[in-house]
Structure 1
Amino acid sequence: MQIRQTTLRDIPAIQSLIQPYLVDFVVDESGLAHFSEQVVTDFINHPEVHSFVAEQSQQILGVIAYREPAHLLHFFVDQRHQSQGIGRQLWQWAEQHALQQPIQEFTVNSSCAAQDVYRRFGFATTKDVTEAHGLRFIPMKKTYPLTQ
């Protein structure tokens, strides 16, 4: 498996990978719009968004994207390939990438189903379940010690 920067040709595979998860956190059409082809394209092209895919034999197994300085936007692993360490490798890749700049925290709006995964990565819940912009999520963050 390799992790590489996302390209525009990955968009159909990314959308297929995300589709089964939408029921976990999308509450209406405005939420669904956050995962349109245009939004994914905009993420890939945005200079402050860093997006990576895990790929094996030209198959996308997972995707992770964060906005600078450190807010996780997308993090999905193909359901057929879960519990194989792909998510952990993607998270460690993105975290190390973000840590090239001084950051004090990494934030994420976790789906209710993914909360335990983020806890294992060192995140803590910051608020109760929230609904906004057509999405249901739990705000979480991971803090980093200040370096001198």
Structure 2
Amino acid sequence: MTIRQATVADIPALESLLQDVLQVHHAVRPDIFKAQGQKFSSQELEEMLADPDKPILVYEKEGQILGHLFCQIQEAKGACLEPMKTLFVDDLCVAESARGQKIGEQLYQYALLFARKNGCKNITLDVWNANGGALNFYQRQGMQAQKTRMEQLIDQED
């Protein structure tokens, strides 16, 4: 088992895992997420792989990519904000066939070390409230709510 920076050769595996994530999101919010599609094009993935502020980590076992972690290093700036670096987790996914093997926990723990090494004060992410499995996972990792984004759906008249 290895957790490492993704390479261009990993793009097909990343695209497959991104489709797994899309399926989870579609299941909980079909009003927002389509059943099929690409979050990032191959070209966008290549550009991200070249950007040191947008690391993509993969969990590899016996030559097979079983999980990924897309991150962004962000810096708070503003007259009323304390300067602070944050590691934002944009996407964490474990292949459906490999779930339950603690791969997500290993990726998350690696992200904590990565954040610490890069001078980040915290790790943040967005999670859909309807995705109970993800909420429970992140709470088990020690995360707590920082803020809540609320919505009210508006009925559209025909």
Please give the per-residue CA displacement for 1:95-130, whole angstroms capped at 9, x wherever unaligned.
101111333321101244211111111222220456
1:59 Cα shift?
0.5
**Structure with more relative contact order (C-alpha pairs < 8 Å, separation 6 or more):** 1
- Which one of the candidate residues 71, 89, 92 is aligned to 1:75? 92
| Contact 2:69–2:91 (Cα < 8 Å) also in 1 | yes
Higher Rg of the two aligned structures: 2
**Residue pairs, 1:29-48, within 5 angstroms:** 32=37, 34-48=39-53
Change in 2 beyond 3 A, CA 1:13/1:101: closer
**TM-score w.r.t. structure 1 length?**
0.76
**Residue pairs, 1:85-104, within 5 angstroms:** 85-104=102-121
| Higher helix content, 1 or 2 | 1
In the comparison of the two structures, how many residue pairs are matched?
129
**Residue pairs, 1:42-61, within 5 angstroms:** 42-61=47-66
**TM-score w.r.t. structure 2 length?**
0.72
Partner letter of residue 71 of structure 1?
F
Please give the per-residue CA displacement for 1:60-114, whole angstroms capped at 9, x wherever unaligned.
0100121113101121000111111111111111110111133332110124421
The runs of 5 or more residues in structure 2 that have no matched partner are 27-31, 74-85, 153-158
Q: Percent identity?
A: 29
| Higher strand content, 1 or 2 | 1
CA distance in 2, matches of 1:28, 1:82: 22
CA distance in 2, matches of 1:25, 1:55: 24
For the residue of structure 1 that corresponds to 2:23, the secondary structure is helix
CA distance in 1, matches of 2:151, 2:9: 33
